[in-house]
Amino acid sequence: MPSQGSGKFERGYIIPIGGCLNSVSDRVAEKMRSLCLTAKAKALILNVSEDPQETTLGEILLNNGFVECETHNVQSRQDASSPMTLQHLAGVDLVVIIGERPLQISTLIGGTALAKQLRKLNADGTHVAGLYGAAALLSEHMIAGGDEANIPRQSGVTMAPGLGLTNRFMVDYHFKQQGRLGRLLTALSYNPFTIGVGIDDGTALFISPKDELQVYGGGAATLIDPCNLQYSSMGSAGSGDPISLFGLQMHILAEGARFSVGERDAYDEHWA
């Protein structure tokens, strides 16, 4: 479950972003800046990898209104538990976690002081974004890998615990790549409570404190809502067997489109 925080503040936005390390557009960066109500917004980039790669993300954020943006490398669980790492989190309005592979990121920070502090800060109003593999990390149920298939199959996805900022959405990234739809559907067959969203490169989901999602960027989001799921054959399927799923609802959300968990409805400003 997401952290309850102190209860004195509204939760910060959760922002999964599809694509690689340099896939954040000015449009998405500008939107992240607009969420920060202070005149001198500060951002922190957490580069979580055993072999951190260079990124232009800091420059993009500074060019779009952030007055300060530091990058801190987290290369081990010792880094994720050090007081120095936690000090970097103090006073920031936005934290962007970046890293290539979801499972490596969760292995490096899962259960550490850093993970606990990120959950607390988000519950108390700090916005947290995840780019590249970290887009999947933000969810409670994290897609760590899977088979390349366009249909769901038993054992077709690898799941692991994520950071747990939301339990209402489960995110997959690089969604234009072959096989992403099949593994997202398989993941949903394991846990039909949550809503599955696949995001294209350069596309961001802005998930509000009220679990309302809005899409920004040049691609689209594929949203699968299992709330009316009538039947799943997952319980009786053998290893590798195709899965039957009846009653799923799919929405394709381009920039500006929204989805509300409370209303279970998608809508767009251009739709009369």
Is residue 109 one of the residues assigned to a domain?
yes
Is residue 216 one of the residues assigned to a domain?
yes
Is residue 152 one of the residues assigned to a domain?
yes
Q: What are the tens digits of pLDDT across the range 115-126?
A: 999 999 999 999
> For residue 152, what are the domain limits?
14-267
Is residue 236 one of the residues assigned to a domain?
yes
Is residue 81 one of the residues assigned to a domain?
yes
Q: What are the tens digits of pLDDT across the range 217-255?
A: 989 999 999 999 999 999 899 998 999 999 999 999 999
Domain count of the fold of the chain: 1
Is residue 1 one of the residues assigned to a domain?
no
Tell me what the mean pLDDT of segment 11-24 comes to. Answer: 93
Q: Please write down the HEC assignment for all residues of the chain.
A: CCCCCCCCCCCCCEEEECCCCCCCCHHHHHHHHHHCCCCCCEEEEEEECCCCCCCCHHHHHHHCCCCEEEEEEECCHHHHHCHHHHHHCCCCCEEEEEECCHHHHHHHHCCCHHHHHHHHHHHCCCEEEEEECHHHHCECEEEEEECCCCCCECCCEEEEECCCCECCEEEECCCCCCCHHHHHHHHHHHCCCCEEEEECCCEEEEECCCCEEEEEECCCEEEEECCCCCEECHHHCCCCCECCEECCEEEEECCCCEEECCCCEEECCCCC
CATH number of the domain where residue 69 is located: 3.40.50.880
Is residue 215 one of the residues assigned to a domain?
yes
Instruction: Using a cut of 0.85, tell me whether the model's pTM lies above it.
Output: yes
Q: What are the tens digits of pLDDT across the range 148-176?
A: 888 999 999 999 999 999 999 999 988 87
